[in-house]
Amino acid sequence: MSRSVGFIGLGIMGRAMARRLVDAKHQVTVYNRDASKAKELVAAGAKQAETPRAAAEGNDVIISMVSDSAAVGNVLLGPDGAVHGTKTGAVIVDMSTINPGSARRIGVALRGRGVAFLDAPVTGMEVRAREGTLSILVGGEKKDLDKVRDVLSVLGNNITHFGKQGAGQLAKACNQILCAVNMMGIVEALHLARLGGLDPAQLVEALVPGAGGSWALERFGPQIAKGDFEPGGRIALMLKDLGIIEDTARELGLPLSGVIAAKRYFQDNKAHDEADLGTQAMYKAVERAIEKAKGRRSLSS
Amino acid sequence: MSRSVGFIGLGIMGRAMARRLVDAKHQVTVYNRDASKAKELVAAGAKQAETPRAAAEGNDVIISMVSDSAAVGNVLLGPDGAVHGTKTGAVIVDMSTINPGSARRIGVALRGRGVAFLDAPVTGMEVRAREGTLSILVGGEKKDLDKVRDVLSVLGNNITHFGKQGAGQLAKACNQILCAVNMMGIVEALHLARLGGLDPAQLVEALVPGAGGSWALERFGPQIAKGDFEPGGRIALMLKDLGIIEDTARELGLPLSGVIAAKRYFQDNKAHDEADLGTQAMYKAVERAIEKAKGRRSLSS
């Protein structure tokens, strides 16, 4: 059944996701602050709105996919926010990655105005957004998820309802811990290999099927071996996510040695203008740590 | 072609590997310090030797699979060591996990007596040892590997020659970095999930197929969710491996924040009599870190 969908936020992920909805013959109205990003989607059949409110008007489902809590608050609850255009019975689904606490607060504000809200961040990056094979991590009322499941199924093949509002964002935070900390193991292992004279590409191939194997080793290992640091997932976004993790962990009383060590490397990347590289560029931060350690040794000798 | 194989060291891994060689109709002579461990193998058709030297005598291939560098040195080069029984043209293959530097030194000593030597540690744990699907990471002369490839193929389906002596052990060290550091991400993520009220089993299922997914998450995540800390791989062995990694990294000038943070957790396990639990019991070390942090907060409030 064709549904009417408002889609707010046309970054790399948002564009890929909105495009799938258009191609699945849903009636899609898109909004993006920089309107030029909508061109391809309009050519493919989407309508374009001039405000988030207008993108929401008359639609069954409104999806937001923007950069952070402030942007979500703005496009949903701001003066031109979606909430002002949402019809009775519609569901707003925020698929951005934000703090679980922010998701709860936005949910309370929306329900105060009679609007249903789900937090539903995704994992899988652009390639899986295009294929419609994202994992979608959902918090909020199950009955609201049931109302939009057909639309979300176009975007992801692995939809999990984790519980009450914020639970989807909390699950996403857990995923980002896995990604950040595992990346640290990958880059430290590849430097040990390099310094010890192994062929890193051969090492990755040998270790992927074993107990040290991971999606990230398979995906990023060969890129690192070639010196390819193009994003996949940008370090700037990972640092935002690590901030969310730290805030959430602090509230819950959880000390996180692994996360802290990974964050330190990524902050070194940022300090060296590498925030727009992919997370695998943590390899470059470890390289600098090696150089620094060399400096200390030659000073002390 | 049936080959004659001496097999030294019948721990959990060694027994599973020797058994595959017996079942593949090779003529296997086994040695273990505690001779009782050989019973099942003898019943299956192996001969039993009373010394490593006797296990080596007349055989084409001699495999050692023991606990550490000292044990390898002892069973290969000691007074009753395999080297004294090795026939011309035979190859000694050490499949234990030891320091790359030790492997090089043992190789030099053996070649000094005219004996070919490969370092060939494995990844995959007992289950894959039984299936013959280990990954075998080889250092040493390629011509020596070619002489024993048929025998190693019974044990592993993924044999990689990394280069000169010690290169196999270095590759294994890289694998252990991946395992130790990734485990830290897994246990920190699962504690965040628990404290935030998520179902850990549901979380693992949702995240395994995504960018945070790994063999270890799939294997150990459900065990941790059930509170099952039985080994797989014991913490005591992982701590030995982390010592190897630190020594090797120090020689090569590589600072390793992730490895250090992971080791600290495992050392806490050891201090709490958990060295014989599986590596996933790092979860219990993080639990204690949470309790400690709680104590600090209530003191300061």
List own/partner pairs for A43-47 with CB under 8 A and 24 or more apart: A44/A19, A46/A7, A46/A18, A46/A22
Contact A192 B173 (CB under 8 A): yes
pLDDT digits 0-9 by tens, B216-240: 999 999 999 999 999 988 999 999 9
Mean pLDDT of B158-179: 98
pTM, rounded to two decimals: 0.95
B254, two tokens:
């590589």
Chain B residues whose CB is inside 8 A of the A202 CB are 160, 162
Predicted confidence at residue B301, as pLDDT, reads 55
Catalytic residues of B: 172
Q: Decide: helix, strand or coil at residue A153.
A: helix
> Nearest CA of chain A to the CA of B228: how many Å?
18
Are B211 and A197 inside 8 Å of each other by CB? no
For A298, the closest chain B residue by CA position comes to B253
Beta-bridge mates of residue A159: A136
Nearest to B124 among A166, A210, A259 (CB): A210
Q: How many CB atoms lie within 10 A of CB B287?
A: 14
Measured between CB atoms, which of A158, A182, A197 is closest to B185? A182
Q: How far is A136 from chain B (nearest CA, A)?
A: 9
CB-closest option in A167, A181, A253 to B181: A181
Instruction: Tell me what pLDDT residue B296 has.
Output: 79
Residue of A125, A155, A164, A178 to mutate, interface with B, max B Cβ within 10 Å: A178
CA B214, CA B235: separation in Å to the nearest integer? 19
Domains within chain B, CATH numbers bracketed: 4-164 (3.40.50.720), 170-300 (1.10.1040.10)
Q: Are B145 and B134 in contact (CB under 8 A)?
A: no
| Residue B246 Cα, gap to closest chain A Cα (Å) | 10
In the three-class reduction of DSSP (H, G, I as helix; E, B as strand; rest coil), residue A115 is classed as coil
List of chain A residues whose C-beta atoms are within 8 Å of the C-beta of residue B160: 202, 205-206
Nearest CA in chain B to A175: B212
Radius of gyration in angstroms for the set of CA atoms belonging to chain B, rounded to a whole number: 21
d(CA B273, CA B233): 16
Q: Quick one: DSSP state of residue A68?
A: S
- What's the gap in Å between the CA of B5 and the closest CA on chain A? 26
pLDDT of residue A294: 87
Point out the residue among A174, A179, A256 whose CB comes nearest to the CB of B211. A179
Distance CA A107, CA A102 (A): 8
Tally C-beta pairs within 8 A across A and B: 270
- Report the pLDDT value the prediction gives residue B27, as an integer from 0 to 100: 98
Nearest C-alpha in B relative to A182: B182
**End-to-end CA distance of chain A, in Å?**
74
Between chains, do A174 and B199 touch, taking CB under 8 Å as contact?
A: no
According to the model, what pLDDT value does residue B282 have? Answer: 98
In Å, how far is B252's CA from the nearest CA of chain A? 6
Q: What are the helix (H) ranges across chain A? A: 12-23, 39-44, 52-56, 69-77, 100-112, 125-131, 142-155, 167-195, 200-207, 215-225, 235-252, 257-271, 282-300
Cβ proximity of B224 and B78 under 8 Å = no
**Contact (CB<8Å) B177/A199:** no
- Residues of B within 8 A of A264 (CB-CB) are 257
Of B135, B210, B216, the CB nearest to A175: B210
ipTM of model: 0.95
Among A110, A97, A212, A248, smallest CA distance to B135 is for A212
Residues from chain A contacting residue B264 (CB–CB below 8 Å): 257
A152, A203, A257, best to mutate vs chain B, most B CBs in 10 Å: A257
pLDDT per residue as tens, chain A (301 positions):
899 999 999 999 999 999 999 999 999 999 999 999 999 999 999 999 999 999 999 999 999 999 999 999 999 999 999 999 999 999 999 999 999 999 999 999 999 999 999 999 999 888 899 999 999 999 999 999 999 999 999 999 999 999 999 999 999 999 999 999 999 999 999 999 999 999 999 999 999 999 999 999 999 999 999 999 999 889 999 999 999 999 999 999 999 999 999 999 999 999 999 999 999 999 999 999 999 998 877 766 5
**Residues in CB range of A80: below 8 A, 6 or more apart:** A51, A52, A53
**Beta carbons of B214 and A182 less than 8 Å apart:** yes
> Does residue B297 surpass a pLDDT of 80?
no
Name which of A167, A174, A193 is nearest B189 (Cβ-Cβ).
A174
Compare all CA atoms of chain B with the CA of A216 and give the residue at the minimum distance: B211
